[in-house]
Amino acid sequence: MSLEQREQAEREQASRTLPPAPCPEPAPERVAARREHLLSEVDRQARSRSPWPALRPRGRWGLALGTAVAAGAAVVVLGLGSGSSDTTRNVPPASAASVQLLERAALAAATTPQTTVRAGQYSYVKTVGHTSVLSETTSGEMELLREDESMEQWTSVDGSERTLQRKGGNDSLLPGASDKGNLNAPTYNFLTALPTDPDALLRQIRDDAEKNHGAGSGSTTGPDQEAFVTIGDLLRNGVTPPETTAALYRAAALIPGVDVVPDAVDAAGRHGIAVARTHDGERTEWIFDKSTARLLGERTVLVEDNAWGKAGTAVTSVALIDSGIVDEAGQAP
């Protein structure tokens, strides 16, 4: 099957999976232009870059949390992958179906009314979900445990106050952001200041990935996977300016290896269609409502058997339940 035939088949698959868009479809020439840019970028990087060492996907909802549940048991938080390199070499560009879905999500986000935000307010997000840890029992065996990651969180829009997090009915204050936010701990004001040009935005995110997770860092993934994970983290922030959200989706469409999963279920049991990227035996999925292209949540699914479970196991899954801007920490929209 030729490239043109494969892309046409992907578009037809996406059209069957998704109902008519609630907003105008992206013009074919716009999608073609984005893919042409991506192909030229992949070719440029393949010529100018040496392979990147792999870095295990990680995010604020990743497999980095957990405590022992039995006396004498030790929790071991491991990377799911085996440490193979993630490079642009031999990685296909984002599929036509994923580019189409991400553009629809961008258009839907761009038409969302802009929220008026004042100093002293908080961005609010409520999620349900779980993460997984490997626990070593007293007998020396490894046991996979599922930990509840359901929470409510209030983040100061300008970083002037500490973040309030509520889990299991218990409140805790997280350390403040002295730099008023960054890619790993964004505030609303930080998100507002990000570039809204997809190319410039992806360049900033990749520069951060290369600086902290590039060659010589000892990381276990490369900048493409790290950029995909970082964008997912920012999208799950709960309250992001519409133009920034649209730019994030369009930036993701420029990352090689992005594809579509026709049916995925979030932590709240809602079915949707997912934009996904597979790295080192695990697939990171952003799940969208099929009717509105609204982000429902994210999960990480094993695509091959390993110590964490059988292929098809969702080792992490988080669903967005509510979000908004509130005047005080502890309030709901």
Q: Which two tokens stand for residue 227?
A: 């950029």
Tens-digit pLDDT profile for residues 239-281: 899 999 999 999 999 999 999 999 999 999 999 999 999 999 9
What residue ranges in the chain does DSSP mark as E strands? 74-76, 122-136, 142-148, 151-156, 163-167, 170-174, 258-265, 271-279, 282-288, 295-302, 314-326
For residue 130, name the pLDDT band (cuts at 50, 70, 90). Answer: very high
Q: Is the pLDDT of residue 312 over 80?
A: yes
Q: Give the domain ranges of the chain.
A: 3-53+84-131+149-326
Here the tokens at position 333 are 């929209």
Query: How many other C-beta atoms lie within 10 A of the C-beta of residue 22?
Result: 13
The SS3 of residue 300 is: strand
Report the pLDDT value the prediction gives residue 77, as an integer from 0 to 100: 36
Exposure b/e, 124-155, CB count within 10 A at least 16 = b: bbbbbbbbbbbbeeeeeeeeebebebbbbbbb
* Burial class for 298, CB neighbours closer than 10 Å (0-12, 13-18, 19+): buried
Write out pLDDT tens, residues 40-71: 444 433 333 322 222 233 343 333 323 333 33
Instruction: Write down the pLDDT at residue 6.
Output: 57
How far separated are the first and last CA of the chain, in Å rounded? 51
- What pLDDT score was predicted for residue 69? 33
Q: Is the pLDDT of residue 79 over 70?
A: no
Would you state the pLDDT for residue 222? Answer: 82
Rg of the chain (C-alpha set): 20
- Across the range 189-204, mean pLDDT stands at 96
